[in-house]
Amino acid sequence: QGESKWTKGITGQTERLATLTKELVALARMDEGGAQLVTEEFSISETVTEILDAFSLMAEQKGLTFTSDIMPDISFKGDKSMIAKLCSIMADNAVKYTPDGGHISFRLTKKGKRITLSSENTAEDVTKGAHPELFDRFRRGDSSHSSDTPGYGIGLSMAQSIASAHGGRIEAFS
């Protein structure tokens, strides 16, 4: 009989399940080495800047301070869309889990052949040291178990797979 709050709810849940399914399939393919990387030479500096510009606006709307220091003209050979996804995951997590009034900063540097994309953000209730558990599938920070913070807990696991597929690594420290 047309659209109602029930059909809207069902549609929303269906869309969320479809998104989760696509992400899990992509992650499984990456883990099995079946993901096809479309490698090309591109400016990682420009790609990272484009992604971070969008997230800096989101951070401002949330009352967060967002800074970035992107070394210009860094060229990279890899899958541009995957690197953009990696950067999006990192920025999205920073915006989601930085408490009100907090600070987020990103840095892209190149030293020799090593390219480093790093992010720092304010965090609450995180013990000092390395945190490899953050890259476990379906892992979400304790403060994120509320339905106010969207997500499935597979983003950082996907970021780790993308980094590995490109011969890199990803780590988390407090």
pLDDT tens-digit readout, 14-27:
876 776 677 666 66
CA distance 119 to 91: 8
Backbone angles phi, psi at 23, to 5 degrees: -65, -40
Which tops the pLDDT comparison, 129 or 37? Answer: 129
CB 87 within 8 A of CB 47: yes
Average pLDDT over residues 36-63: 93
CA distance 23 to 28: 9
Query: Tokens 């696991």 sit at which residue?
Result: 157
Single-letter residue type at 7: T
Cα separation values, 83 from 4, 46, 86, Å: 40, 11, 5
Average pLDDT over residues 105-125: 94
Which tops the pLDDT comparison, 112 or 24? Answer: 112
CB 44 within 8 A of CB 79: no
Average pLDDT over residues 18-46: 76
Tell me which of 14-28, 94-108, 158-172 is least confident. 14-28
pLDDT at 150: 56
pLDDT at 48: 97
